[in-house]
Structure 1
Amino acid sequence: MVDLIVSDPGNRHLLLFFLIFAAWEAGSGQVRYSVPEEAKHGTFVGRIAQDLGLELAELVPRLFRVASKDHGDLLEVNLQNGILFVNSRIDREALCGRSAECSLHLEVIVDRPLQVFHVEVEVKDINDNPPVFPATQKNLFMVESRPLDSRFPLEGASDADIGPNALLTYTLSSNEYFSLDVPTTQQQVKPLELVVRKHLDREEFPELHLVLTATDGGKPELTGTVQLLVKVLDANDNAPAFDRKLYSLKLSENVPNGTLVITLNASDVDEGLNGDVFYSFSSDLSPDIKNKFYIDHKSGEITLIGRIDFEENKSYKIRVEAIDRGYPPLTGHSTVLVDVLDVNDNVPELTVTSLSLPISEDAQLGAVIALINVFDRDSGANGQVTCSLTPHVPFKLVSTYKNHYSLVLDSALDRENISSYQVVVTARDGGSPALWATASVSVEVSDVNDHAPAFAQPEYTVFVKENNAPGCHIFTVSARDADAQENARVSYALVERRVGERALSSYVSVHAESGQVFALQPLDHEELELLRFQVSARDAGVPPLGSNVTLQVFVLDENDNAPALLPAGAGALGGALGGARGELVSRSVGAGHVVAKVRAVDADSGYNAWLSYELAPGAGGARSPFRVGLYTGEISTTRGLDEADAARQRLLVLVKDHGEPALTATATVLLSLVESGQAPQAAPSRVAVAGAAAAALVDVNVYLIVAICAVSSLLVLTLLLYSALRCWAPGRGAASVEAKPPVVCASAVGSWSSSQQRRQRVCSGEGPPKADLMAFSPSLPQGPNTPDHPRQPNPDWRYSASLRAGMHSSVHLEEAGILRAGPGGPDQQWPTVSSATPEPEAGEVSPPVGAGVNSNSWTFKYGPGNPKQAGSGELPDKFIIPGSPAIISIRQEPTNSQIDKSDFITFGKKEETKKKKKKKKGNKTQEKKEKGNSATDNSDQ
């Protein structure tokens, strides 16, 4: 420590030397100055800013301030030059009494960042207090018979100063009767005594006037005096005597009133009244002692009548007297020295100042939060205080100076976990039992933006029906931010992207505050089945944080598209879409013969695109010989035709979907009944259809047709050779000729197809099919396809196909070239629900069921075997080569291995039945004439 004593302003070199050392001490965070008491206002104490290493320019911005616990106005700092100066009168005796050390403790606090410095200013004593006697005059009574060297104790003077300024010397005015016995420093309890040097003679000098002077050791010296009046008495020449000159004892503080302190004992050798002694306190005893102690005049017992406090006074020196009742009375003197013992009766005091609150959750470790000062008025172990914190808090106490602590951050904070702490500081002294005190510090943690908004799940699936109202609410996204206030205020926005040729914002929008998602326009399932986009959530922190969530909006189909009729294919007799369709029907056809087919598509999906066909009530009359397939649209005969049937049949076919409510379309079919010689053969017409398809293929790509024909020829040649070898194989009987298998329809035996046709091309009829493959399984002959005897499906195969209802409908399979043979000849067939059977062994066709399911999936199954049908597990008996008019027929060999002419393969030629061979007549001219008539009738229709 460096002491700077400003007592001589002229000694500048010494002052400069002390300032240099004070500045060096400031580097360690502790500065000490000295100032004399009673210094004038403005007296220089020290350059405190410079010594603490602070810049003058930062004193005001950093809120430089000086704090003192009890004497904050004695010293002040000039913020312009950083000089500590005396602000008001400093009285050392008022501050510290007679304590050897006296200093002012200052706390220098600066903020931004928070720093604390401790400064001690020692107050130097000056000789400003003269010696003071208890009274200005003291009366002494002395018997003239007093022997020489008789001693009379005198109360000495007291000096409020300390050190040399309080070192007193005594002198007695010049006389021949008395001298002064002054005790040395080692004899502090020995009183100042007046010693008789010459016998007194009352008749010569009944009274003597003396002056006792006390001089201190200060510069300049100060003195104090007391007048001594000595009265010379006669008679009683033996004074009472105490058994001890000094009584020393110890007494604990806070003992109750009435406690016996000591019992005095004095005796007088005289007799009678001259030997009768009573006790009293010395007349010059201080009032404080008289208020705390009481002496019994007869017994000499001293008892406690007031509270004694170690913190107020650590010892008491009591002057006592024993006086006889002689005349004149004689007095004996003694001293009682009472030492007060400290008791742990003071609770530690806690002071919390300069709180840096609230504290940010990203504050650095070691950041100062509060300053804590602890004080205990007790002494020794009773005054030794230790501080502690409540457990499990991210703070700790760091001792800075003596009983001064700083509350600092010890571990990282997380406001989202704990937003505030109630820190309790406990100060406990070392007494027994120990006393303690607590101070509570509420530490609030301020938020920083360290959490991004979070959605409950990364992706949401939303189902919306098409044709919704514009601006309807379809979903609400919600993100939670663990932060607080602005850092937790979340706003939502679309993550913009392109949906086809349009921007995402033209379809949907998101409310920035609520997160509600709105559809800005009606959605169309046929245009957009799935809308996938992202919504971002961003908080208002600095910098902002955000996250995204994905929304999958499935547009559910509604029955908003009516079935649409398709125009007739190449080679068919018919008109444009929605017009009447015409067909020539021979009167010789039997029941179940397909005479025409109505084709329609539906732009919807699922059940909404599942079409059924039925004849309008009254169409064709009550005895109409025609019926329409419920799901195929095929118009077939229900019985054989006769002469009673009208030559022209007008059928109104209703095409209806399965939506709610169902939508319908109507098709008009005109049938002309002609004789068998006039009716064009069904098989050639079908071959002509295939030929037209081949011609269309030639228009598209000649080389492709040539390649297909070459491959087809090679396959046909191979099959011819294979069939010829089988036909000429030994063991075949004539019975096989009669068992010629018919060509089976797809609805009866099942089929599989693979098509690459696009919906647009199917609907518009552009070009031939790209690549289609059809296969048919064999079956035993079946009876006529009537309502009473429906054809059963062949359960030989099990498969599934993905077809778009309405896109890959019957027209697609028909364009793909799936042919079937019925009682009336080959026709076209596609697998629909009509091929299902209520029997569990039969095949089934299942349309998609339920919203949200892929409406393009249709499943066709065949059962494991139908006991009502035979021939399961056999190979197909007919193949159709895509793009070629050839129909390849393969007959399997029966078990009897009989040879049949029909086992040969024919190309581009219809197989004629025996019945038709018998009816064939006329010459080529007649046939040309009949064909011309048929053409004329068709044009009329």
Structure 2
Amino acid sequence: MQSHTGQRQVLFPFLLPLFCGGLSEQIHYSIPEEMARGSVVGNLAEDLGLHVRDLLNRNLRVSGEEQYFIVNTENGNILVSDRIDRESLCPQSILCIVPLEIMAENPLNVFHITVKIEDINDNSPYFPQNSIVLQINELAILGTRFGLESAIDADVGPNSLQSYQLSYNEYFSLMVKDKREGKNAPELILEKPLDREHQNSHFLVLTAMDGGDPVQSGTIQIRIEVTDANDNPPVFSQDVYKVSIPENLPLGTSVLKVTAVDQDEGINAEITYSFKTLRDIRNMFMLDHQNGEIKSKGPIDFEISSSYTMNIEAKDGGGMATECKIIIEILDENDNAPEVIFTSVSNSITEDAELGMVIALFKTLDKDSGENGEVTCLIKEKVPFRIESSANNYYKLVTDGSLDREKTPSYNVTITATDRGKPPLSSSSSITLHIADVNDNTPVFEQAFYLVHIAENNPPGASIAQVSASDPDLGPNGRVSYSIVASDLEPRALASYVSRAFDHEQLRAFELTLQARDQGSPALSANVSLRVLVDDRNDNAPRVLYPALGPDGSALFDTVPRAAQPGYLVTKVVAVDADSGHNAWLSYHVLQASEPGLFSLGLRTGEVRTARALGDRDAARQRLLVAVRDGGQPPLSATATLLLVFADSLQEVLPDVSDRPAPSDPQAELQFYLVVALALISVLFLLAVILAVALRLRSSSSATTWGCFQPGLCVKSGPVVPPNYSEGTLPYSYNLCVAHTGKTEFNFLKCNEPLSSGQDMLLCVCARGEGERDPVTSSEVPIII
């Protein structure tokens, strides 16, 4: 009756809308839960008597926020739109009805539909807990009942919980009784006396089953613990415990756990442990009074003690106690690294030390024993040293290779001592060995050959070049001094250049041999060549060789035929420059001209040519002022004055020359004696010419025998080459003629100025005479004074 009443209370809210809309036709559907989406519940159009073609116009739909069903307006079917879980929708209710309101328009109407959700067996029975623990005293009376928790099944009707089943057990049976809530309550009934000493616990499995098809079930484990009285003393698992532990255990490390058991239960089986031994043991170890675990408390060192013996008592809650003996052996561990101790180290090691020289003495020390105390030494670095073993753990450090302080001035030698323990321990000790220097390196110049340029006219004492040599040795062995040991100059010339400037025109290059010498004992040295090139500067102005000034300091003149055609070579300005390169590259320029445009001047050759024919209005005497410039920066220059006379014969020019007043030159006396000397030479020359002519007339040999003394021939003087002249055009040779007309004339036409100090002067003298056979005979002879 209680079950039916509950069902009516749950059903009433769902039936209330049906009564409220009683005037409308009601349609009922019934479907199982968990139907697939899109499943057909029923055809609403057919049940309501509506035409399918009117469904779309009437907008037939489910009213409200119903989420489980929809209406298909094409055929009028009500479809499942979402998963329906009856247990979630109607929990703990046997009847589950879902009311629907179907709205229609044109005309407006509401149809009330009810859908009954039928239960399916989709839930298994289950217990709220995973297990059940019951404590039952072994003196419990037979037939005593022990209640158990009921199982839960969310399904209803036949699919709900129907029965229980207990696993086979000779001590207990199962009884099920109905409770007021309508659930079946299982109970255990004791069927056989319990004996805790025989079996202190029992395990049962309770199974709950429903009435579905197939049947679904749920299980729970039941553990029954049997309690007992204090009728047994604690008993250790062993009378004597022996354990071996390594030394240096970390504090709190478990060493041993003693176990004592008591067949009683409860407080009677609660055992506590305690030391029954000397106090110092308690300083080394600590005991857990509850579980009997022994842990390290202080540092355990094999070197202090190799074993410990102690007694431990176990006592239960009833006061019964027993003891056991514990022996703890300490195992030696490789816990001491070997030490390296140097006893003697050499203060100084020269880099020429011999192989096998003892550098240091050291010994090793390891507190461990056995293999843990056996030590080997080695050097891990690659150094020119090795270790030699000696007696009683003593070792020698000796040289094992050549030493070079310049490459490695010191060595940081690390000696590693390793024992044979497992794992091995090692330690290292380092010493620094300083290598003393010996004079074993010669100075080395930075360059194998030095080539320097220096401009001429350098200030006296200016630095020409700087050389540097390095010596990797130390102290006096690496202190370098420099000297000049050889030169291609004379010793005096070399010394003179220290205090004066260089002149490119006198010295263009020279080579020195320099020596770098250290101050070692014995001293070492190295030589290097230093070649000095004296670069030219534009310090020499061009020098005009032609035209030269006359004895009185006036410019001489050149004659030009009146009928000279354009391009006629009148004369040539000849100049030289003692400099080199561009500084000696000369160019010729007309600064002034009596008649511009009458003559042209070659820019590079200095040739003066007629630019046009002589006109009637042009003066017979022309003057050109020519500038000669070099190519230096800045350029230097010189000027030359050309006096050009247009005349067809020399006689036209001589009166003009003789009419010129004698200048009041302080050198007039010198020029006078010069003219007298020239006249005497000319007389001698004329006599030689007359004698040669006479001999020629008498001779029947070919006229060519006399060579240059033939009538109408002129003897040309050779060019004068100035010193240091390397480029440009040499001066021309000029013809001076002598006419043999029975009367002899000496005409001084041209004289080259002195070329340089100490050189000869070249004079050109012309002798003219009159003869009977040859109206005019001339010859030219260069005279060197």
TM-score for the superposition, normalised by structure 1:
0.38
What TM-score does the superposition give when structure 2 sets the normalisation length?
0.45
Larger radius of gyration: 2
